[in-house]
Amino acid sequence: MSAPAPVDSPSAPAFDPPAAAVGEPPRLSSRVQFRGLLYLVAAAFFMQSLDSTVVNTAVPAMAGALDVTPLGMRTALTSYVLTLAILIPASPWLCDRLGTRRVFGIAIMVFGLGSLLCGLAQTLPQLVGARVLQGVGGASLMPVGRYVLVRSIEKREFVRAMSTVSTFGLLGSVLGPFMGGALVEYTSWRLIFLINVPVAIAGYWMNRRDMPDYRLERANRFDWRGFMMFAAASALLLVASELAGSTPVPWSRIGLYTLAAVALGALYVWHSRRTAHPVADLNLLRVRSVRVALAGGLFTRLGISGMFLLLMLFLQIGCGWSPLAAGLMMVPQALGSIIAKWAINRVLVHFGYRRLLLGNTLIVAALLAMFALLGPTTPVWAIGLLAFFYGAFAGMQYTAMNTLIYTDLDIKHASMASSMASTAQYLAMSFGIALATLLMQAMLDGHAHEQYVVAFRWTVLILAAITAGASRVFSQLRHDRPPAGAPAAG
């Protein structure tokens, strides 16, 4: 929900076809069923992509309605993304055990129910609980959708099918800010969530009609112990970050939660080495490209994941813009991301991963720092132009990071690598949003409009420095060119 535009999504299926499906995927029974499945998966991508951008525009209005400060809304933003990070690794096992039709149908209805409860929430804790429920459903939508397309569509149709689905996702990222601003300004912020309900009902009906039902007769045992260790460690770290924003700051409790999270993380490392099918195979970190992709992605997303929210607060509170005007200003950012996805293949072939990520990371950091030059009197065209270039280079960064992890891996490890990449991505995004809001809160000296401008400027400078530090991680790459056949579209 709270990912910044451009949409940052994994570039490969979250898991590979099971052993029973090795070989050419079966044909769907008719062109009608093919189109129905394609529209179903595209609608799920659109709904989740829309939800990833639409809410940020409404944060000031939601904060006023729930009687909290705008920065105090961060829990509602991070809880959804963290839930995605925790639950995505369980999607393959659930499909193997329950079947793709049942899992996808349940995911749609849970997402719709969570959206309904979000629209009815009267307090921040109620909203956070509803966002977690949305995340429970959302964690299976995109991974299962990709998996079913891989299984169901012939190779000659697959690229066109994924292009169609990706286009709907990008369309959601473009329409999200505009729709969020328009709904807040002319109706109510609650409609931002409630519009998902009829879409979920229609999706559930289409799922029963068009979704193939793939499963394994005997699925591997799921690593429940490792899963619980990872989930608890992630949740404790997020709780510690939330406590850091309270007044007075309970340092002893923060330290206790942090130590407990570190201890659980260390326990998982020990556990994963003694488990046949761990939820995350840490042995893959021995591969340089995997290690660099995950570490570089972590530092990059810590720096840029909260930027969309910060810009919304800066424009609406600091500069006095309406929600619709602020939302429209995010459209150039999404358009820049779309253009970057068209150019990424040629750029990667020319520069290679190492040179591209080294240079592009520094460019993204510089553009992020340039936002500190903005103020209430800055011309609209200048903000839009900066947002466009930031979106373009950030989109290129996302795609390069999302595909780097697969360049040196054997195909048999692609499933695990995809799951680890998606989990790390959403985990870093949740903590990036928390970091950005905590920094801005620390910089605020009062709640006057001009204070938000000053706090925004200092915050983006710090985030730019963190982002620039990620270039040090990418300097560890060896290759000057992507290997032949490496994926380069995200």
DSSP designation for 222? P
What is the C-alpha to C-alpha distance for residues 253 and 436, in angstroms, rounded to an integer? 21
pLDDT band at 489 (very low <50, low <70, confident <90, very high): very low
In terms of C-beta density within 10 A (0-12 exposed, 13-18 middle, 19 or more buried), how is residue 224 classed? exposed
Residue 199: which of 115, 129, 81, 77 has the closest Cα?
115
State the average pLDDT over residues 313-320: 90
Total residue length of the chain? 490
Pick from 396, 24, 341, 26: nearest CA to 163: 341
Is the pLDDT assigned to residue 4 strictly greater than 80? no
| pLDDT score, position 490 | 41
- Residue 248, pLDDT > 70, answer yes
Residue found by looking up tokens 């460019």 in the block: 363
Alpha-carbon span 454 to 142, nearest angstrom: 39
The alpha carbon of 74 is separated from its chain's Cα centroid by a whole number of angstroms, namely 15
pLDDT score for 159: 61
> Which residue, chain included where needed, has tokens 């619709």?
324
Q: What is the DSSP string of 173-189?
A: HHHHHHHHHHHHHHS-T
> In the prediction, which pLDDT does 23 show?
38
The answer to whether the beta carbons of residues 333 and 388 sit under 8 Å apart is yes
Q: Report the pLDDT value the prediction gives residue 81, as an integer from 0 to 100.
A: 86
d(CA 436, CA 348): 30
Instruction: Measure the CA–CA gap between 439 and 458, rounded to whole angstroms.
Output: 9
pLDDT of amino acid 33: 59
pLDDT tens-place string over residues 438-468: 899 888 876 667 888 899 999 999 999 999 9
Average model confidence (pLDDT) for the chain? 81
DSSP 111: H
Residue 25 pLDDT class (50, 70, 90 cuts): very low
The pLDDT value recorded for residue 106 is: 92
Question: Which residues fall within 8 angstroms of residue 56, CB to CB, at 6 or more apart?
Answer: 2, 4, 77, 177, 180, 308, 309, 312
Residues 363, 132: Cα–Cα separation, whole Å: 35
Average pLDDT score over residue span 25-46: 67
414 or 68: whose pLDDT is higher? 68
For the domain spanning 19-222+279-474, the CATH number is 1.20.1250.20
* CA-closest candidate to residue 437, choices 455, 461, 464: 455
pLDDT of residue 488: 39
pLDDT (tens digit per residue) in 142-152: 788 877 877 77
CA neighbor of 465 nearest in space, from 387, 369, 386: 369
Percent of the chain exceeding pLDDT 90 equals 20
Is residue 14 very low, low, confident or very high in pLDDT (cuts 50, 70, 90)? Answer: very low
Q: Is the pLDDT of residue 156 over 70?
A: no
Q: Does residue 7 carry a pLDDT above 50?
A: no
The pLDDT confidence band at residue 216, using thresholds 50, 70 and 90, is low
Give the residue-averaged pLDDT of 344-351.
82
How many beta carbons lie within 10 A of that of residue 239, not counting itself? Answer: 17
52-97 residue pLDDT tens: 777 888 888 898 889 888 888 888 888 888 888 888 888 878 887 8
SS3 label, residue 376: coil
* Longest CA pairwise span in the chain (Å): 64
| pLDDT at residue 16 in the model | 46
Residue matched to tokens 């530092």: 299
Angstrom distance (rounded) from CA 421 to CA 354 = 19
Mean pLDDT of 95-103: 84
Q: What pLDDT was estimated at residue 31?
A: 53
What's the CA gap between 5 and 176, in Å, rounded? 9
Alpha helices in 211-287 (DSSP H): 224-244, 251-272
Q: In this model, does residue 11 exceed pLDDT 50?
A: no
Least confident of 264-278, 295-309, 349-363, 397-411: 397-411
pTM, two decimal places = 0.82
**Is residue 22 over pLDDT 70?**
no
pLDDT band at 35 (very low <50, low <70, confident <90, very high): confident
